[in-house]
Structure 1
Amino acid sequence: MIKEEIIELISVIIIITAFYIQGQAYYKPLVKMSGVQSIILAILSTFLGIITGIVDYFILAIIIVTLRGIITPYVLIKMLGNKFGEREKIKGVASLLVIDLAFFFIAIIIIYEFIIGRIFHQVELLFPLSLFFQGLYLIVSRNSTPAQIIGYIEEENGIVMLGLFLIPLPLLVEASVFLDVLGLVVISSLLIFEKREHKALEELKG
């Protein structure tokens, strides 16, 4: 059906943004694309609202755009300050992207074989689970605080995306968004405080 194809297309675009983020070493495209990814997720929620007529999907889309598409990137830009246009202190970004691609396809095979094929029987669940693992890999493979925060955002986008596919009425999704946003606010506040106290932006410790 055309509706399912549109959903899959939007989901694929979200995954592509995750690959783009993984392949970037400069802070500016990292932060901007994280906002774009969240906005595309909001578009997916809006489309589900259009085809189902459920208002909660529209409310969720507004929350995602406001908090993850606008506010969180703004906080990261403020935290970076003059470093916003600089390059992250990391080598071998291309190699990390190749490893990410290999990890991605292996994860898809494992997820499809053992989780989707045997439990849920919903192929579209590949996308949110893949996005979650993309965020996890970004956190593990990078040392800079902004990149790791973006990894957390990707994981949370993956959780919300999973909820969109699993739950008809996204009440649980709204609750998870609230908890995720609360966590982001706390993390961001702690990192900004750490920056002011120790002048250390590059490493995330603790």
Structure 2
Amino acid sequence: MKIIFTVIYLLAALIVITGFYIQVNKYLRSMVMTQALQSFIIALIAFLLGIALRQYTFFILGALVILLRTVLVTYFLASKIPKNKNYLYESKLPTTYYLLVDLAFIVVSIFIVYSISFIHIVSLIFPDSDIILFPLLLFFQGLFIIASRKRTIAQILGYIEEENSLILLGTFILPVPIIIESSVFLDVLVLVVIFSIISIEKTEHKPVEELRG
């Protein structure tokens, strides 16, 4: 079981790396595909927890993540990128600046939130509760993407990252009932539907402009 938990730690760290890649990536289709990889890694973590804990609910969770997030959400998002513009990107994207600001923002946010709200939370699954830092990192990465990017697709990916972080956090803290996980998936699907409507009218938003549905 220690080997499985070690692999899960490495996969959780890889999820955070995909979040940084999405942040500095200016090509929209590549960002969408990276989101699919991020969701697939979350599903893989669920499968590993199912094997380690011998609980079938984690296998159901992993299957739902692959079906709804890795496949359906990715398909809907990719379909909004014109086929004749597969390399559509955000011009003049200061990737180095965004990466440095993202790191500073995350470090400060994690220090404040974790030290105040999460320091006394004990994971019922992992012996070391510090693993909840990974979903917290992912959450603030998604928040920074929403605030810093202009493209609607990029901002939607920020929302999806936040949803992924909530699933990961709930999975690490305790086995969340499948109905709660299902509601999160439905929220994402509703968000994609809203995106399909508003993207017809506008494909870019200012960094401080709020998406409304």
Q: Give the match for residue 118 of structure 2.
A: 116
Q: Give the match for residue 102 of structure 1.
A: 104
Return the letter of the residue paired with 2:52.
Answer: I
What is the count of residue pairs matched by the alignment?
201
Q: Give the stretch that moved more between structures: 135-144 or 176-185.
A: 176-185
Deviation sequence 1:148-195 (CA, Å, 0-9, x none): 11001100000100110122254354233333234334323323xx41
Superposition map of 1:145-156 within 5 A: 145-156=152-163
Q: Give the match for residue 134 of structure 2.
A: 127
1:2 aligns with 2:3: yes
Give the alignment's TM-score, normalised by structure 2: 0.85
Deviation sequence 1:84-120 (CA, Å, 0-9, x none): 3121145312211110011122223223322332344
1:61 offset after TM fit, Å? 0.8
Indicate how the Cα distance of structure 1 residues 126 and 147 shifts in structure 2: closer, same or farther if over 3 A, else same. Answer: same
Contact 1:164 1:173 in 2 (8 A): no
Indicate how the Cα distance of structure 1 residues 47 and 119 shifts in structure 2: closer, same or farther if over 3 A, else same. Answer: closer
1:15 offset after TM fit, Å? 0.4
What SS does structure 2 have at the residue aligned with 1:80? coil
1:168 aligns with 2:168: no
Superposition map of 1:1-206 within 5 A: 1-81=2-82, 82-120=84-122, 122-171=129-178, 173-191=180-198, 194-195=199-200, 198=201, 200-203=202-205, 205-206=211-212
- Structure 1 gap segments, 5+ residues each: none
Matches of 2:139 and 2:183 in 1, distance apart? 14
Contact 2:16 2:137 in 1 (8 A): yes
1:23 offset after TM fit, Å? 0.8
User: After the TM superposition, which parts of structure 1 deviate over 4 Å for at least 4 consecutive aligned residues?
Assistant: none
Matches of 1:170 and 1:44 in 2, distance apart? 17
- Structure 2 gap segments, 5+ residues each: 124-128
Give the alignment's TM-score, normalised by structure 1: 0.88
Q: Which has the higher helix share?
A: 1
Q: Give % identity.
A: 40
Contact 1:57 1:170 in 2 (8 A): no
